[in-house]
Amino acid sequence: MSKHRLQKNNRIARGLLLGAITAGAVMIPVAPAVAQPLSIPGLGNIEIPGLPPVGAITPDAVVTHGQRALDAAQTKIGAPYVWGATGPDTFDCSGLVQWAYRQAGVSVPRTTYDQINGGTPVGKGDLQPGDVVLFYGTEHVGLYAGGGMVVHAPTPGQSVKRAPLDSMPFTAARRY
C-alpha cells in the first residue's frame, strides 16, 4: 500500500511541476516575429524571421589607397621640410609622398623622377584624393587633396601644408 501512495505522490508532484512549467511558458511575453520575404528566382518568396529589410544594410564606403595616403600626409601638415628626408618627422616633397603611401601599404618610388613613371597616368580633370601630382617638370610632387588643393612639402624653411593645385605649374599626375 505504501508503494501506491508513493506513486500517487509522484504523479501529483509531476503534475504540479508540469503545470508550473506550462503556466510559466504562457506567462512569458513573446515579441512578435518579424519576417521579411526573400525572393529566390525559380523558388518563389520565402519568409525569413529576423532578416533586415532591403536597404537596411549598407556596405561600408570603400577607402582607396590614395585616400589612406592622403589621410596620412595630412597628419604631417606643419612638419618641417628637410631635403632628402623621408619622415616620420621631417620630409622633402617626394619623401612625404613615399611615406604617406607606405602608411597605406603601397610601395611608391623614392624620387619624383621615378614617381612620374610609376602608377597609372591620370588627367588633371580626373584627379581623385591621394593622386600623386607632379609640378615644374619633375622637380616637385604632392598629393591631390580634393577641391583643387594639394598637400605637399614645399621648400626648405617651410612646412608640409595645403596649397591650391593651380598655384604651381602642373606637369602630370599618377594614381598608385
Catalytic residue ranges: 93, 140, 152
* CA torsion through residues 115, 171, 86, 163, sign: negative
- End-to-end Cα, the chain, rounded Å: 93
Region label for 67, one of left (φ > 0), alpha (ψ between -120 and 50) or beta (otherwise): alpha
Q: Residue 156: CB partners within 8 Å, gap ≥ 6?
A: 81, 82, 83
CA distance 142 to 13: 83
Q: Residue 62: CB partners within 8 Å, gap ≥ 6?
A: none
Coil, helix or strand for 66? Answer: helix
